[in-house]
Amino acid sequence: MTIRNWFKFFVRAMLIGGLITGVLGLFIRWDDAFAQYFQAGEWGEFTAAFVFMVVMGFTVSVIAQMGFFAYLTIHQMGVNIFKSLTLWNWVQVLLIIIVIGDLIIFRFRPGSASTEQLLLYLGLLLVLIGTGVTVAMIKARLTKKHALISAMFFMIVISTLEWLPVLMVRAEGVDSWVTLLLFPILAVNAFQLLALPKYNKQSEIDLAKREERRKARKQQAAQQ
């Protein structure tokens, strides 16, 4: 990927993360972060709280992009280590099951102080799995069928690793952050997974045009 296309890719992913976090933050964290300023008519503070949400989304986006490029390396290493894409896919399926089990047994059940909180976490898990499966199916349809498992692994396992820091926090009001930050992670990861081929293709076109211009300049210089 060329620097120009990587920069576009990076900026658009950041905008997606910031916009989703800012907009959903108005609803999910209204009582905690916005209601008091809205009721008091303190619009400067209200705007500052919204900007904070957007910046938080930018941060989540950067983390998600780091996770994506790390996964590309891990995926290639996995194929090389197991010498077979089929075997590597089975390993990924096993890891998906382990991660989901870990979330339920070691994260959600011990961290839930009430049935309502446990149901919230299980609902978020369903969002994670449902989004992961849906995006993986779209990816497989757009590219090749064998991309299904790898895409599902990325959307579920890597997204969980990016979500894990907030899941490990034990503090009052953390549920709203756990809920809020899942959505930009999933949105940015879905964008990266589905949009990367487009940017790679555009980079190939740009490089070809650059090479044509270089050859044209050489020919022009030779004629002179």
Q: Which of 128 and 206 is assigned the larger pLDDT?
A: 128
Q: Is the pLDDT score of 111 beyond 70?
A: no
Q: How far apart are CA 156 and CA 17, in angstroms?
A: 18
| Predicted confidence (pLDDT) per residue in 160-202, tens digit | 999 999 988 877 778 899 999 999 999 999 999 999 989 888 8
Instruction: Give domain status of residue 158, yes or no.
Output: yes
pLDDT at position 174: 85
Q: Mean pLDDT for the chain? A: 90
Local confidence band at 64 (pLDDT 50, 70, 90 cut-offs): very high
pLDDT at 206 over 90: no
Instruction: Please name the residue ranges forming H helices in 29-146.
Output: 35-40, 43-82, 85-102, 109-111, 115-142
Give domain status of residue 29, yes or no: yes
Please report whether residue 213 resides in a domain. no
DSSP state string for 155-218: IIIIHHHHHHHHHT--STTHHHHHHHHHHHHHHHHHHHHHHHHHHHHHHHHHHHHHHHHHHHHH
| Residue-level pLDDT at 106 | 84
Q: Is residue 18 part of a domain?
A: yes
Contact 29, 37 (CB under 8 A): no
Higher per-residue pLDDT: 52 or 217: 52
Domains in the chain: how many in total?
1
In this predicted structure, the answer to whether residue 157 has a pLDDT above a threshold of 80 is yes
Residue 196 lies in a domain: yes
**In the predicted structure, residue 28 carries a pLDDT above the cut 90:** yes
Note whether residue 214 is domain-resident: no
Given this model, what pLDDT does residue 224 score? 63
Q: Residue 181 falls within a domain, yes or no?
A: yes
Give the model's pLDDT for residue 55. 96
Q: Residue 143: which pLDDT band, with cuts at 50, 70 and 90?
A: confident
At residue 216, does pLDDT exceed 90?
A: no
Is this prediction's pTM over 0.75? yes
The answer to whether residue 37 scores a pLDDT higher than 80 is: yes
* pLDDT given for residue 182 in this prediction: 97
Domain span at residue 38? 3-200
Give yes or no for a contact between 168 and 106, defined as CB atoms under 8 angstroms apart: no
158, 193 in Cβ contact below 8 A? no
- The answer to whether position 219 is within a domain reads no
> Which residue is it, tokens 């280590």?
81
